[in-house]
Structure 1
């Protein structure tokens, strides 16, 4: 742990108080009871831009102004909003490059935070194209490219999360759980706390950038990645962030399936009324991976963001049910005769509900292929249903976990 870094993070935190208050550190009784520990949530989803990203943007700008008056970033999400917010605060110009495919809601929020101080440029179908355009613009215009994570000032700014945790708790917690994308938050937190506590770093299975970097001794491109957990879907850990994380224990890195993360999103919304984006729910879902280690301990989960588009809610609910084994999709070969459908319906249990029924095609003169979606209230109901289908002579294919096929028909 570097004393200079500590002092820098503390100074950055104090300076932030002129712009926004500390985000709450709240004990969660529901999670504490479940895991037999004192579970606190560091609510970065309650910052002015609903994520911690404005911290790094603030710290970088306060140090680089007046040498730089134009700041550029490439982002389709939280970093763009943080940069926009701070450009408006400092009264400097911001040029924010976003992919053409960025949802309108994110574009509008970025413009709202930045106002007249920013310009949004939609470039490229993929982020790599957007990034290249942003960097080319910087080279031509002499503007400062503000990385979302691989920047020393940004890392120091993100460390303010750790400063606030220690201040609010009155001590260092026993264990902290951190979501990882490019590594800015986790690098800053580790650099500030050092070895004073235990760590768990959480990544989505579809973007294991920290795990790959530790395995290979250097940042490693893990493309192609799954972008569902967009706030943590980074193909390559930053070089500067890796320098602060390279001594992390590989056993402290956990990977969670994207569908599994949806379970915590739904639970926190329904039980606690807390709106979290997928990356923001990573640390909470990871509690299940360290349950034996944290009993009786004080644990902080950083809920890194709450920029959730509610148009995604049906997909998130379905993915959560799919992970929990409460919904399945299969293609049924249904005989084309009177009473065949009635025979099938008679095999359903009292808690089995058809959520999707669609004729796909006639595979033969006497048979038709049907896409069936069934939701139930207990995972154990499906084996009984499939046994009944087998005994009745129905032919079917379970496509629930066939990602290639499911993306076309579900």
Structure 2
């Protein structure tokens, strides 16, 4: 051995890392001594696994239980056409070994649940959540908080994605941002709404980048920040996230002190993504409106403006999240914030005698909310087409956009 503990072959293989002053030989040695577990070997897990293996992370774990399907190949770059029908983990192991035989790849062909989560997640230096459903996402968060293991969060839907690092020391966890899982069937998944094939490559690479920085001890992590990515507009925005002192998992007096199987809250179909996929943008946050809505379910922003100016009585419900409300809102028009996940608990406070106008950022969450509200008896609930983005673009250009 030479080169400060790196072999000649390693110096050649990782030369472009070693030549970076911030990484150098010490950073590369740290990567070699580190371990990362990836939950979900799908759209997000694929690029993350490839780049972490290429970077020389010494021990890499993959959790998945699916087989490769033809529809995966549009975005899950870890696999090829010959892999269709085979277990994902078998194909992934072969591909990663071919990329870098010095990386020890461990596979867990299992559905992550409260019974095995600690056993699988314990002992890793960093976790990447490439999950594709809310039950797994909340389970990963809770387990990582309890184990003291930081993890990179990623989510995608249509053209938009999110990324952050949670459960870092003194940083927020996923529940500080999204306290409760959404109700069953309120959130569209990638199978229903679609996803631009390159988007998971962008978000998964960001997750791998965060893992490498953390393990090498360089740079500023995404902990305490939520990165919002709009691939259609090619815009990036970073929002600060503070730890919630009343968080049910990482707060001063946590009420969740053991792992929970969240299928009973979220429903088995609440998202295509988790152990096996790509992670949908939270509650469909920031997705583009396709305009594919039922007749008489939408109104446009000009009609809303007319109703406001005319002094008509109606209830204006904003189903976005707290952090989105803080950026811009229609509070001056009487809007009330009811995040989508809390909608079923809030319906009893709605006045059935007054019209309900629902809005989100750009439309899809509003569509889901209206579908739910009409199913429980609010027949005159309508969605604001284009959401608050349309309001900012067509009615109030001074309103901040995100």
Same fold (TM over 0.5): no
